Amino acid sequence: MKQFLQKLSNGHSLERDEMRIAAQELFSEETADSQIASFLTLLKIKGESVDEITGLVEVLREKAMPVRSKMKGVLDNCGTGGDGSNSFNISTASAFVLAGAGVKVAKHGNRSISSKTGSADVLEHMGVSLDFHSNEINTLLSECNIAFLYAPHIHSGLKRIMKVRKEMKIPTIFNLIGPLTNPVQLETQLIGVYRRDKLETMAKVLNELGRKRAIVLNGADYMDEASLAGENHLVLLENGRITPFTLKGEDVGLPHYPNSMIKGGEAAENARILQDILEGKEGPHLDTVLFNTGIALYAHGSVSSVAEGVKAARESIVSGKAKETLQSLIRFSQQKRKQVI
C-alpha cells in the first residue's frame, strides 16, 4: 500500500492493474485503518480516474456474493445518493414501474446513508426480504421481473472499510461506485450521480465494465435523480460512444414542480408515497417517477425516446402491472420467511 500512497501523494493516478492490487490491500487485515483513510483521501484530492474506479469496482464485484444469471437485458436503476435532497425513494418506485413494463430489474440498494430513508428501509417496512441468495435472485428475475440486492448482504466483506468511511465523515470514491458494484452481469443501466462533473467519467467506466447501453444523469439542483424542477444533464452510452444531452420534464409532456414538492420522510411515509404512485395517484410524486422510468426505459433501449418511455411507464401503472410486481415480491418474501420458520 505504501507505494500507492506515495504515487497518489505526488498527484499521479494509478493504472487499472495497480488499483486492483490496491483494492485487494484495502481488504487485508494487515492494512491499517489509517492507511485506508489516507488512500481514500488522496484519491479524492487528486480526483478519481476511470481506471481507478474500474479497477476498484472489478475487485468489489469479484468479492461480492456471486449471482450467476444468464438472463439478457437486465437493468439496474440505482443512484449514488449523496445529493442531500431528502427526496422520496424515486428509483425504488421506478424499479417496480420498469418491471411492470416488462424490464428485468436487479435493484441494488442500501439503507439510508445521506437521506432519511433508503431503498432497503422502505422495502423492509413493506415486507420485502433483504437477504435473497443467488438462486432466489434468479428466480425473482425470471418470475417477477425484479429482485432486490441489499448491498451489505451482497458485499459482506466491506464492513471494515465502511467503518473507516464512517469515521472519515467525507465523501470518497465509495460514494460514487455503489451503483457500479451490482454482481448481476448487466447489459444496460441508469445511474443518477450527485456530481455533475463525473457524468462522462462514470459513462466511460460503464463502457469498461461491458455495458452496451446506459445513461448517467445529474438532475436539476444537482439531484441524483431526474427532476421536474428544471434542466437535467445526461450522457448516453451506446456501443462505446458517449453523447451528452439535456432534458426537461416539459420536453416530454410533464409539468414543472420544485424539488420541495418531492421530499420524503421516514420509512412509513415513503412506503405510503410508493403505494400511492403504484395506484396511480396524480401529482408530483407520480410525475417524477414517470420521468425517471421513461429515461430508464430509453437507457434500456426498449423505447425509441424518453417521451415514449413516459407513456409506457404510465401504462405500467394504469394496467396494475407495476403494483402487482411489488405484491409478487412481498409474497415471495413471505413465503421465504415461512420456509425458514
Cβ partners under 8 Å of residue 83, min gap 6: 114, 194, 219, 222, 223, 224, 225
User: Is 241 annotated in some ligand binding site?
Assistant: no
Do the beta carbons of residue 60 and residue 155 sit within 8 Å? Answer: yes
User: Is 110 annotated in some ligand binding site?
Assistant: yes
Backbone angles phi, psi at 275, to 5 degrees: -60, -45
User: Rg (Cα) of the chain, in Å, rounded?
Assistant: 19
User: Is 192 annotated in some ligand binding site?
Assistant: no
User: Is 34 annotated in some ligand binding site?
Assistant: no
Report helix, strand or coil for 71: coil
Report helix, strand or coil for 295: helix
102: which DSSP letter?
T
Dihedral of the CA atoms 11, 39, 185, 77 (nearest 10)? -90
User: Is 224 annotated in some ligand binding site?
Assistant: yes
- Using CB atoms within 10 A of its CB, is residue 57 exposed (0-12), middle (13-18) or buried (19+)? buried
- Using CB atoms within 10 A of its CB, is residue 270 exposed (0-12), middle (13-18) or buried (19+)? buried
User: Is 173 annotated in some ligand binding site?
Assistant: no
User: Is 253 annotated in some ligand binding site?
Assistant: no
User: Is 112 annotated in some ligand binding site?
Assistant: yes
User: Is 69 annotated in some ligand binding site?
Assistant: no
User: Is 83 annotated in some ligand binding site?
Assistant: yes
User: Is 108 annotated in some ligand binding site?
Assistant: yes
User: Is 79 annotated in some ligand binding site?
Assistant: yes
User: Is 90 annotated in some ligand binding site?
Assistant: yes
The whole-angstrom separation of Cα 305 and Cα 9 is 45
C-alpha cell at 73: 437485458
Q: Are strands 188-192 and 146-150 parallel, antiparallel or unpaired?
A: unpaired
User: Is 92 annotated in some ligand binding site?
Assistant: yes
Burial state string for 66-100 with b = 16 or more CB within 10 A and e = fewer than 16:
ebebeeeebbbbbbbbbbebbbbbbbbbbbbbbbb
User: Is 225 annotated in some ligand binding site?
Assistant: yes
The whole-angstrom separation of Cα 183 and Cα 316 is 27
- Position of cell 411492470? 100
CB atoms within 10 A of CB 122: 27
User: Is 20 annotated in some ligand binding site?
Assistant: no
User: Is 115 annotated in some ligand binding site?
Assistant: yes
* Binding-site annotation, residues for Mg(2+): 91, 224-225
* Binding-site annotation, residues: 79, 82-83, 87, 89-92, 107-115, 119, 165, 224-225
* Binding-site annotation, residues for 5-phospho-alpha-D-ribose 1-diphosphate: 79, 82-83, 87, 89-92, 107-115, 119
* Binding-site annotation, residues for anthranilate: 79, 110, 165
